[in-house]
Amino acid sequence: MRHLGIDATTSGKMAASDFNLLVREVDQQLRVERYPIEYRIGQVMCTMVNSKERTYRPEMFVGEDPKNTEVAKVAKEKSDPEIMLADGNNYTLAVLDANMMEDIEEAFDKPWGVLFTNVRVKVLKAVLWHMLKPNYPELQLADVGHLLTAKNMTTVVTKISDMK
């Protein structure tokens, strides 16, 4: 993964589907890079086996040009912004934008990536509050603390990470 600029810690945190797409993309690029050499080998093979009765083409030995094939990208469905919190009500989350992320970084005086290495409850509460504020401006940080419980914490984390 070094040649892609991705270290082992980053690829370890990558979603399995994204990692599989990355592997397929790298495999496709390698096939595109190797094809000219394979094609030349196919030409040599054609020179050796072609006769008046039968004519071969290099593609018959090495396959078609991989540039014509496209790696299928799986589009994730847009996540539903609604979430049920501890009070039993559904809340609509706003998409986490750069302004919200910056506010959270400033509040904890740490970079975004560091804050989510081992997520602390107060960081999760702050993220949830920022995502609720646009639709529920009356909610205070302490209110969000009551809406976020040990029972729904995993659901909240999953919902936040699935949102685009």
> For the chain (length 164 residues), average pLDDT per consecutive 10?
57 69 78 87 90 89 74 56 91 90 91 83 93 94 92 87 71
Residue 120 near residue 112, CB atoms below 8 Å: no
Q: Is the dihedral of CA 121, 123, 127, 133 positive or negative?
A: positive
- Which letter does DSSP use for residue 37 in this model? H
pLDDT value at position 65? 84
pLDDT value at position 66? 81
Q: How many helices (H) and strands (E) does the chain have?
A: 8, 2
- What is the three-class DSSP state of 74? coil
pLDDT value at position 3? 52
